[in-house]
Amino acid sequence: MRHNRDQLSSASHLHPDHSCSHPQACLHLTVLHAAILWTEISAALLMEQKVVLITGCSSGIGLSLAVHLASDPSKAYKVYATMRNLDKKQRLMESVRGLHKDTMAILQMDITDQQSILNAQSNITEGRVDILVCNAGVGLMGPLEAQSDETMRRILDVNLLGTIHTIQTFLPDMKRRKDGRILVTGSMGGLQGLPFNEVYCASKFAIEGACESLAILLQNFNIHVSMIECGPVNTDFLKNLMKTEPTDESVEVDADTRSLYKKYLQHCQEIFQNAAQDTEEIVQVFLEVIQSPCPLFRYYTNTALLPLSSLKLMALDGSQYIRAMGKFIFSAEHADSRK
């Protein structure tokens, strides 16, 4: 590169503006050198493209992040946007409006199916992933007594084991190269308990433990693990989550629990209406992590939610947090109940 820049600058004193006896030939030479320089700059940029693999790109946070990175004007990223069901790829395709040809590829990947993870890995033409974003996840809401074994396993299979299997697959190569970033979409529900979300919170708490443990080890391999802790976000999450309907009479739950569940659902609806963030705000936090020379372990997308969480640290016996959260959810006057 330096060599060609030198060549170009030495050509510049042959430019027609300088005293030259063959202005036409000199102009051709200059254009030629400029073209060579531009090709080399483009090649260098492409060589430095960071390879990013994101799980759960059919909607929500994963989709927005994939679109944002693939649309980077300097083409700094090659994005492998993965989803378990390719029939859902249209939304992502429409969001990038054909601008993604050399910066995005869509791959099938179900994080609960090891063969599907391996197939996706073998389709990465660069043969490496620099930045792994474990984002896929599902919610589960309802009284604990109402949850079947099958439903609970499904949540743990995706949110916990699926995320761990994804990391397990891509980690050995990152370790070998002593380079990598692992970003995980976490949740405030992974830091603090939420009633009627017991199994979802269990899965998100568990992934916190797994990632914090990994982060300690991976410092030795120049691999950074970061949790992006989200509060409510406007996505398909509520639509996609598995939820017990409070009116479902086939569910055997006592009347008090049923009434508290209704209150919780009202609270949840209000929180999403009043405090949910748009995916673009979440994407900005992901970008901060991706672009940081030395990313931290935890990032919070919504600092308004931190005071309740910090009660856990103020009273390590847990009493303050449990009391405060109970009041916040069950004692508040909800708009619907005032009607």
Ligand X SMILES: NC(=O)c1ccc[n+]([C@@H]2O[C@H](COP(=O)([O-])OP(=O)(O)OC[C@H]3O[C@@H](n4cnc5c(N)ncnc54)[C@H](OP(=O)(O)O)[C@@H]3O)[C@@H](O)[C@H]2O)c1
Binding mask 134-153 for ligand X (x = CB under 6 A): -xxxx---------------
When the beta carbons of 236 and 245 are compared against ligand X, the nearer one is 236
Question: Rg for the chain (alpha carbons), in Å?
Answer: 25
SS3 at position 317 = coil
C-beta contacts of 121-128 below 8 A and 24+ residues apart: 121/169, 121/170, 123/80, 124/51, 124/53, 124/80, 126/49, 126/51, 126/78, 128/51, 128/173, 128/177
Q: Which of 21, 85, 122, 331 binds ligand X (CB under 6 A)?
A: 85
Task: List % helix, strand, coil for the chain (3-state, nearest 5).
Answer: 55, 15, 30
Establish whether 78 is an annotated binding residue.
yes
Applying CB under 6 A, the span of 1-9, 65-73, 108-116, 253-261 interacting with ligand X comes to 108-116
**Annotated catalytic residue 261:** no
When the beta carbons of 26 and 237 are compared against ligand X, the nearer one is 237
CA distance 238 to 197: 12
Which residues, 50 to 79, sit near ligand X by CB under 6 A? Answer: 55-56, 58-62
Give, in order, the Cα–Cα distances in Å from 114 to each of 85, 120, 122, 144, 181. 15, 10, 12, 29, 21
CB of 183 to ligand X, least distance (A): 11
* Dihedrals phi, psi of 183, to nearest 5 degrees: -110, 135
Establish whether 120 is an annotated binding residue.
no
CB of 50 to ligand X, least distance (A): 21
Q: Which of 23, 29, 72, 88 binds ligand X (CB under 6 A)?
A: 88
When the beta carbons of 89 and 262 are compared against ligand X, the nearer one is 89
Q: Which of 110, 130, 198, 208 binds ligand X (CB under 6 A)?
A: 110
Q: Which of 4, 95, 112, 119 binds ligand X (CB under 6 A)?
A: 112
CA distance 85 to 334: 38
Q: What is the sign of the dihedral through the CA atoms of 119, 125, 130 and 136?
A: negative
CB of 215 to ligand X, least distance (A): 18
When the beta carbons of 167 and 253 are compared against ligand X, the nearer one is 167
Applying CB under 6 A, the span of 28-36, 109-117, 254-262, 322-330 interacting with ligand X comes to 109-117
Which residues, 219 to 258, sit near ligand X by CB under 6 A? Answer: 230, 232-233, 235-237, 240
- Residue 158 is a binding residue for ligand X (CB under 6 A): yes
Establish whether 304 is an annotated binding residue.
no
CA distance 333 to 199: 27
Helix H segments across the chain?
2-12, 23-47, 60-70, 90-96, 114-122, 149-155, 163-177, 198-218, 237-240, 255-275, 279-291, 306-314, 319-326, 335-338
Q: Which residues are catalytic?
A: 200
Residues forming the site for ligand X (CB under 6 A): 55-56, 58-62, 83-85, 88, 110-112, 135-138, 158, 162, 185, 187, 230, 232-233, 235-237, 240
> Residue ranges for the binding site for NADP(+)?
56-84, 110, 204
> Residue ranges for the binding site?
56-84, 110, 187, 204
